[in-house]
Amino acid sequence: MDQYTLNLLIVGATFALYIGIAIWARAGSTAEFYAANRGVHPVTNGMATAADWMSAASFISMAGLIAVLGYNGSSYLMGWTGGYVLLALLLAPYLRKFGKFTVPEFIGDRFYSPTARLVAVICLIVASVTYVIGQMTGVGVAFSRFLEVEVSTGLFIGAAVVFMYAVLGGMKGITYTQVAQYVVLITAYTIPAIFISLQLTGNPVPGLGLFSDYTPTGEPLLARLNEVVTDLGFQQYTNQDPSPGSVINMTLFTLSLMIGTAGLPHVIIRFFTVPRVADARWSAGWALVFIALLYLTAPAVGAMARLNLLDTIYPQGTNEEPIAYENRPDWIRNWEVTGLIQYEDLNEDGLIQYYSDGAAIAEERGWQGNELTVNNDILVLANPEIANLPGWVIALVAAGGLAAALSTAAGLLLAISGAVSHDLIKGRFNPNISEKGELLAARIAMAVSIAVATWLGLNPPGFAAQTVALAFGIAAATIFPALMMGIFMKRINNKGAVWGMVTGLIFTVVYIFLHKGWFFVPGTNQFEDTIAGSLFGIQSTAIGAVGALLNFVVAYFVAKSTEETPEHIKALVESVRVPRGAGVATAGH
């Protein structure tokens, strides 16, 4: 059986599994659909949350970025896990006690202001649409390889599938479907990693293999990797980027991802519906357990993929000649179809010179420039092919990547369409809209978001994980401070919250647009998105932390200089702070 058929078979089988579970679960009762998490054990809920959370950015893109960035890629690892500490300590138990279903509802009630709710909805939509662009990038990569087409064709097919998936309800709220998705996703991620770790280090646990000895030479794997990459003129894998400002950028970027994690509505929402406040605390822990299974493996996948890739190109070592283009392995041929690997024989010797431009060795060896361009987003998907693993493993990874991308993209589209139709149109502009009209508005919002995300996905503002990181920056600068102040600072009133969120949103979005192009249209940026070229010496992915700080400061001073928070709101805050008396979460319609 050829690889193409095998891919179709395994991807098809996993989808049949999700749909089967969805039908089986839906047959129960409709009430269960709305409160899917009630009566579900915190461990099960944690697994479902992990599936919801881990998207194309975590699955497809992150390890590839770590492979290229090395130590500096640690921001993604710490940022996307450390946020759960903030979520568990600062938000989840209190929002559960509050007992409503959506984030804008909490903000609207706590700050006794429909304007605050409207601003929260806008922030939510901006962050979610940006997030979807990142997902579409990942979907395009996965579909292009798996259907063996060009990446833009893959993107169009992916967009159509995401739309149908989201219209079907995305299988959201059905916890057991998400548990199945988690199992597929983590199996697909771990199996190739175990194989590769065994091949390179003899250690079956990839997370430990990363710090073990490299079998062929007996030296530590990371030391070996450092040697190979520096030979080719790349920066040392395990060291901090030596350019000025990189430490502060790494710190702010990590912080942006952390507070963004705690401010993204589709994650928070999972903790609204657990049975009890105590469970909200445990659930965050269990979610992180299942996320950590992937995140502890990811740095090993990144380092080992980088080493494998360089070993493939330089089978005799970096001091000998690289392989000839004619003898390139099948995986390079396969990925060339998608356009995500490109080769240009600059010095016309038929060999693949892959190195960092400007490396000292280039001149003495007669190299005319780097000849191979490998898109970071393909590394995880190509990993099993690079390591010569069996065909079913390759197909399984494709299925895992699609599960990750589709479930998160569909979930976000549902969040966007819900915010537009329910919070924006019904809540603000036309309270008398019919149920049919609301549903139509939701569908239109969904279609428009996909169209926009697909169009921008053709020329994405970055690799999947980087685009998603921008969404986290926006959430960090807007939603998180409002929620935290709502719980911890009674003094913050309606005006403080509104001005804080508006400041955070405008500052962060304008800064991102100045560096990534206005509305992400390529070429319309005023500043280069590098540390040296940026406006404040801070890259756009790291600006969310600054936006969050501005949000806090503005909210504090505006609240201080305006009237006191009303007594009944103070009482509301008091009641949110203690678990006793938590009822069942209610939807605000």
- Work out how close the CB of 580 gets to other proteins at its nearest, in angstroms, rounded to a whole number: 5
Q: Which stretch binds other proteins (CB under 8 A): 19-27, 161-169, 283-291, 501-509?
A: 283-291
Identity of residue 449: S
Question: Can residue 186 be called a binding residue for other proteins (CB under 8 A)?
Answer: no
What length does the chain have? 589
Question: Can residue 436 be called a binding residue for other proteins (CB under 8 A)?
Answer: no
**Rounded to an integer, what is the distance from CA 185 to the centroid of its chain?**
14
Question: Can residue 568 be called a binding residue for other proteins (CB under 8 A)?
Answer: yes
Question: Can residue 581 be called a binding residue for other proteins (CB under 8 A)?
Answer: yes
Instruction: Give whichever of 21 and 255 is closer to other proteins, judged by the CB atom.
Output: 255
Q: State which of positions 252-281 bind other proteins (CB under 8 A).
A: 254-255, 276-278, 281
Question: Can residue 538 be called a binding residue for other proteins (CB under 8 A)?
Answer: no
Q: Which stretch binds other proteins (CB under 8 A): 49-57, 88-96, 171-179, 491-499?
A: 88-96
Q: How far apart are CA 322 and CA 373, in angstroms?
A: 15
- Work out how close the CB of 158 gets to other proteins at its nearest, in angstroms, rounded to a whole number: 30
Question: Can residue 93 be called a binding residue for other proteins (CB under 8 A)?
Answer: yes
Question: Can residue 288 be called a binding residue for other proteins (CB under 8 A)?
Answer: yes
Q: Which two tokens stand for residue 410?
A: 């569909």
Q: How far apart are CA 552 and CA 503, in angstroms?
A: 10
CB 377 within 8 A of CB 183: no
From the list 250, 259, 305, 313, which residue makes contact with other proteins (rule: CB under 8 A)? Answer: 250
- Work out how close the CB of 498 gets to other proteins at its nearest, in angstroms, rounded to a whole number: 23
Give the three-state DSSP class for 148. Answer: coil
Q: How far apart are CA 355 and CA 364, in angstroms?
A: 14
- Work out how close the CB of 366 gets to other proteins at its nearest, in angstroms, rounded to a whole number: 32
**Rounded to an integer, what is the distance from CA 324 to the centroid of its chain?**
37
Give the three-state DSSP class for 459. Answer: coil
Residues 6 or more apart whose Cβ sits within 8 Å of residue 411: 52, 170, 172, 266
Question: Can residue 292 be called a binding residue for other proteins (CB under 8 A)?
Answer: yes
Q: How far apart are CA 227 and CA 351, in angstroms?
A: 22
CB 479 within 8 A of CB 263: yes
* Size of residue set near other proteins by CB under 8 A: 55
From the list 244, 344, 577, 586, which residue makes contact with other proteins (rule: CB under 8 A)? Answer: 577
- Work out how close the CB of 384 gets to other proteins at its nearest, in angstroms, rounded to a whole number: 22
From the list 14, 58, 226, 308, which residue makes contact with other proteins (rule: CB under 8 A)? Answer: 226
Question: Can residue 290 be called a binding residue for other proteins (CB under 8 A)?
Answer: no
CA-CA-CA-CA torsion sign (171, 177, 179, 181): negative
- Work out how close the CB of 588 gets to other proteins at its nearest, in angstroms, rounded to a whole number: 17
From the list 247, 440, 444, 451, which residue makes contact with other proteins (rule: CB under 8 A)? Answer: 247
Q: Which two tokens stand for residue 198?
A: 């065994």
Question: Can residue 571 be called a binding residue for other proteins (CB under 8 A)?
Answer: yes
Instruction: Give whichever of 268 and 419 is closer to other proteins, judged by the CB atom.
Output: 268
Residue 374: beta bridge partners? 341
Question: Can residue 69 be called a binding residue for other proteins (CB under 8 A)?
Answer: no
- Work out how close the CB of 150 gets to other proteins at its nearest, in angstroms, rounded to a whole number: 35
- 3-state DSSP helix/strand/coil % of the chain, to nearest 5: 70, 0, 30
Question: Can residue 177 be called a binding residue for other proteins (CB under 8 A)?
Answer: no
Question: Can residue 566 be called a binding residue for other proteins (CB under 8 A)?
Answer: no
Question: Can residue 282 be called a binding residue for other proteins (CB under 8 A)?
Answer: yes
DSSP 566: P
Question: Can residue 191 be called a binding residue for other proteins (CB under 8 A)?
Answer: no
Neighbours of 353 (CB within 10 A): 25
Question: Can residue 37 be called a binding residue for other proteins (CB under 8 A)?
Answer: no
CB 277 within 8 A of CB 98: no
Q: How far apart are CA 175 and CA 41, in angstroms?
A: 11
Reported as type and span, the H/E element at residue 203 is none
- Work out how close the CB of 316 gets to other proteins at its nearest, in angstroms, rounded to a whole number: 23
Which value, to the nearest 10 degrees, does the dihedral of the CA atoms of residues 411, 413, 417, 420 take?
A: 110
From the list 71, 112, 234, 556, which residue makes contact with other proteins (rule: CB under 8 A)? Answer: 71
- Work out how close the CB of 503 gets to other proteins at its nearest, in angstroms, rounded to a whole number: 24
Q: Which stretch binds other proteins (CB under 8 A): 47-55, 203-211, 509-517, 553-561?
A: 203-211
Residue 225 to residues 78, 204, 220, 351, 486: CA-CA distances in angstroms? 22, 19, 9, 22, 48
- Work out how close the CB of 222 gets to other proteins at its nearest, in angstroms, rounded to a whole number: 4
DSSP string, 328-378: --HHHHHHHTTTSEEE--TTSSSB---S-TT-THHHHHT--S--EEE-GGG
**Rounded to an integer, what is the distance from CA 532 to the centroid of its chain?**
26
- Report the interface residues with other proteins, using CB under 8 A: 71, 74, 77-78, 81-82, 84-85, 88-90, 93, 207, 210-212, 219-224, 226, 238, 240, 247, 250-251, 254-255, 276-278, 281-282, 284-285, 288-289, 292, 295-296, 299, 488, 568, 571-572, 574-575, 577-582
